[in-house]
Amino acid sequence: MTPSGPFAHLDGERRVIDSSQDSMVRPGQLPPLFQFSQNSLQDYADCRRRFQLRFIEGLRWPAARSEPIEEHEQFVNHGVDFHLLVQRHLLGIPIEKLAPVENPLAEWWDAYLHYPPPDLPTTLRLPEVQLSTPLAGYRLMAKFDLLAIDPGERAVIVDWKTSRKRPPRDQVLNRLQTHVYPYVLAEAGTHLFGRPIAPEQINLIYWFAAAPTDPEILPYSADRHAENRAYLEGLIGEILTIDDEIWPLVEDEFHCRYCEYRSLCDRGVRAGSLDEIDAAEEESDWDFEWDDVEEIAF
Ligand code: SF4
């Protein structure tokens, strides 16, 4: 199929592999019940060795991802706190009981209240929903910040972004999240929607605390869904075929500056500066932590 639409320019970067063709699938490499997610696939896309260390070897390396370390920790905590605040608000806790007083949380909260994502469905507002679907012999899961749904009509995925700068559109389009989220919702959201969801009934909105009036709104389509299926299946198929004792290290060492495994890989000792980090690295930094926050049962 000839790719079209706003994702067409990405195809040069995609490595679509037919995992059914003489691949040596060794599911024993991954932990039992392993589920792929946008985080793990993004790690693989950024650096195969990082995927191996984090998800196959289960290594949690205690190095800072950026410096100053205190500022880094504060940034991670603020991102998690903002998500918890919004979650509580969407679950019905009154605004007066939530209002944070310290910046940047107070500024983000103000932006959220005054410039929410536009034109959201009103019937269902479901914060922190996790869905998963089978793909390539595994499960692919997505943890949504917010699903807003008018059953049978339309569904909007909202993702809150608290990076200090709004990332450019091409960077947003390239993130694995942009592929995984609408794909999983289209495949696994039937019980929430009341019937199968056509891809055209899905929108993905990235809302930026740093630019609340300029959200990225990404409509989904059947063509994009087919492209995403091939792309994600290909990535998982590729992961299952790697047979190296040490998986390839990323060539572009920029990623290593913000990676906690850099000393293990002999890619430097000092963490990269928080001032030079790009929005995507910044988000992935705390996204990982946020996934560890205990879920509220849905
Ligand atoms: S330090 Fe660099 S090569 Fe090593 S896992 Fe991290 S990103 Fe990959």
Instruction: State pLDDT tens for residues 151-201.
Output: 999 999 999 999 888 999 999 999 999 999 999 999 999 999 999 999 999
The residue whose CB lies within 8 Å of the most ligand 1 atoms, and thus the one to mutate among 53, 60, 262, is: 262
**Residues 210-237: what's their mean pLDDT?**
97
Non-local CB neighbours of 120 within 8 Å, separated by 6+ positions: 148, 156, 158
Distance 73 CA to ligand 1 centre (A): 21
pLDDT the model gives residue 64 = 63
Global pTM value: 0.83
Contacts for 246 with CB less than 8 Å, ≥ 6 apart: 49, 52
Contacts 24+ apart (CB under 8 A), 184-188: 184/131, 184/132, 184/133, 184/140, 184/141, 184/142, 185/131, 185/142, 185/144, 185/147, 185/155, 185/157, 186/220, 186/225, 187/133, 188/131, 188/132, 188/133
Task: Read off the pLDDT of residues 260-270 as tens digits, 9 standing for 90 and up.
Answer: 898 899 987 76
Residue 156 has what pLDDT? 98
* Nearest residue by C-alpha to atom 7 in ligand 1: 256
pLDDT, residue 22, reads 39
Task: Judge if the beta carbon of residue 257 lies within 6 A of ligand 1.
Answer: no
Q: Is 22 exposed, middle or buried (0-12, 13-18, 19+ CB in 10 A)?
A: exposed
pLDDT, tens digit, 9 for 90 and up, residues 84-123: 999 999 999 999 889 888 889 999 999 999 999 999 999 9
Could you identify the atom of ligand 1 that is nearest to the CA of residue 47?
8
What single letter denotes the amino acid at residue 88? R
Q: Is the CB of 265 under 6 A from ligand 1?
A: yes
Q: Is the peptide bond before 3 cis (omega within 30 degrees of 0)?
A: no
* CB of residue 125 inside a 6 A radius of ligand 1: no
pLDDT confidence tier of residue 11, bands split at 50, 70 and 90: very low
Which residues, 6 or more positions from 216, have their beta carbon under 8 angstroms from its beta carbon?
A: 169, 172, 205, 206, 208
Query: What CATH architecture is 33-291?
Result: Alpha-Beta Complex (3.90)
Which residues are paired to 142 by β-bridges?
131
Do 130 and 87 contact (CB within 8 A), yes or no?
Answer: no
